Structure 1
């Protein structure tokens, strides 16, 4: 059961990554405060995609996401196995962050075809069509959900 919970956490992170990016970071807002919050959390990354100071989620934004992830895993698996699932989710987050960094600032993504495709999709999201390509570390949910 332990390996299953870890793998679940990794896969669950990919869904969280997609969902937060699509439904929170790309929400259309009309309220001044929501617009400001949205810009601080993600809009500035789209306005300045090659600014390495605006690439990673600030801790103030990451903590509520981690709490929701852990809360969901706790409800599903209980205390001990939720810790294993959270380790998987946090591992998925680190992989996501590394891939995202390399998409923007490294030639490493050119070494492997699958990373080239991920980088191409992410750059398309930034420079061509921000309504598609919400998955950074994997295109799985974009394929499943048609984005």
Structure 2
């Protein structure tokens, strides 16, 4: 959805602060004996975020009528300040954090939520870079930019992963340069 400049850039401030506070609190709660477990859990949920990102983009952003229309506006006007308002994404993270905390403990809830929030922040940063920066023609970010451009301009029914192409390859939705040339 359209956002003001403050609304658009707020994730870049709010999430690092929240992740830092949550991770620090969780690591203190874990103590020296639980730090390795906490980091492994957090890392696992960073990885899980990439699947969530893929599914949200493929299913929600491209299939749900109202959201699909808002997302289509992003495809048409790629550099406009559009995105998920921080209050909405933070609410979704809260809907994960609170039940886990209530059902388990703060240590587990902080590791899971920190991982998901780091994954989300990485997605927000990468997506911004893909639409607003011109990375060197080599490396990870340039490959992501090429794949995302295929999604925007050639095949809106493929290449749904923004931070990785792993899930597109696994689920058969990867758009390659060869596929694009045939289109």
Same fold per superposition (TM over 0.5): yes
Name the Cα RMSD after superposition.
2.2
Superposed CA deviations along residues 46-69 of structure 1, whole A, max 9, x for unmatched, are 121121x11x32235424532454
Classify 1:112/1:71 alpha carbon distance in 2 versus 1 (closer, same or farther; 3 Å).
Answer: farther
- How far apart, in 1, do the equivalents of 2:153 and 2:98 lie? 35
- How far apart, in 1, do the equivalents of 2:96 and 2:72 lie? 23
- How far apart, in 2, do the equivalents of 1:140 and 1:116 lie? 16
Which position in structure 1 is the counterpart of 2:86?
59
Structure 1: stretches of 5+ with no match in the other structure: 30-34
Deviates more, 1:62-71 or 1:10-19: 62-71
Query: Under a length normalisation based on structure 1, what TM-score does the superposition of the two structures give?
Result: 0.79
Q: 1:142 aligns with which of 127, 149, 168?
A: 168
Q: 1:16 aligns with which of 42, 48, 52?
A: 52
Classify 1:64/1:120 alpha carbon distance in 2 versus 1 (closer, same or farther; 3 Å).
Answer: same
SS of residue in 1 equivalent to 2:69 = helix
Preserved contact between residue 125 and residue 134 of structure 1 (Cα < 8 Å):
yes
Higher relative contact order (CA 8 A, sep 6+): 1
- How many residues are aligned here? 135
For the pair 1:46 / 2:93, whether they are aligned, the reply is: no
Query: Under a length normalisation based on structure 2, what TM-score does the superposition of the two structures give?
Result: 0.65
Bigger Rg, structure 1 or 2: 2
